[in-house]
Amino acid sequence: MKRILIAVSILLVALSLPLSAETVKGYLIDKMCSAKVAKEGVDAAKAHTKDCALMADCKSSGYGVVNSDGKFLKFGADGDRMAAKMLGLDDREDNIKVSVSGTVTGSSMTVIAIQFTS
């Protein structure tokens, strides 16, 4: 009985880990243009423009955040909608710094909230 309780406790702890939100800071960019960041580094994400991110092909590819290590984390559908809405409401032309809260799984992120940072 004691072994079962320990196993259940370990399982509950393990299941709760992926559900904890984390915050990633970086640059908001569309997936289509993330290939350029992979080649050229974080400076390409910093220089990426809002106009480009809102172009039809770029917007339909979805969005994500490039962290300080140059890693691109692709947002899920909810994050894509939040990002597109935010981009449409902001007057920044480039250097689109954000703080994103959510759950990171591999190279993707389930977004809970996005906010602009300076």
- How many domains is the chain partitioned into structurally? 1
Report if residue 54 sits inside a domain. yes
DSSP three-state, residue 43: helix
Report if residue 84 sits inside a domain. yes
Report if residue 16 sits inside a domain. no
Domain containing 54: what range? 21-116
- DSSP string covering 71-116: -EEEE-HHHHHHHHHHHHH----S--EEEEEEEEETTEEEEEEEEE
Label residue 118 by pLDDT band (50, 70, 90): confident
* Residue 2 pLDDT: 54
Distance of CA 68 to the CA centre of its chain: 12
* Residue 20 pLDDT: 72
CA distances from 74 to 18, 30, 40, 51 (A): 17, 9, 18, 19
DSSP three-state, residue 117: coil
Q: What whole-number distance in Å separates Cα of residue 113 and Cα of residue 82?
A: 8
DSSP three-state, residue 68: coil
Label residue 5 by pLDDT band (50, 70, 90): very low
Q: Is the pLDDT of residue 14 over 90?
A: no
Q: Is the pLDDT of residue 98 over 50?
A: yes
Report if residue 3 sits inside a domain. no
Report if residue 6 sits inside a domain. no
Report if residue 2 sits inside a domain. no
- DSSP string covering 49-66: -HHHHTSHHHHHH-EEEE
Report if residue 13 sits inside a domain. no
Report if residue 110 sits inside a domain. yes
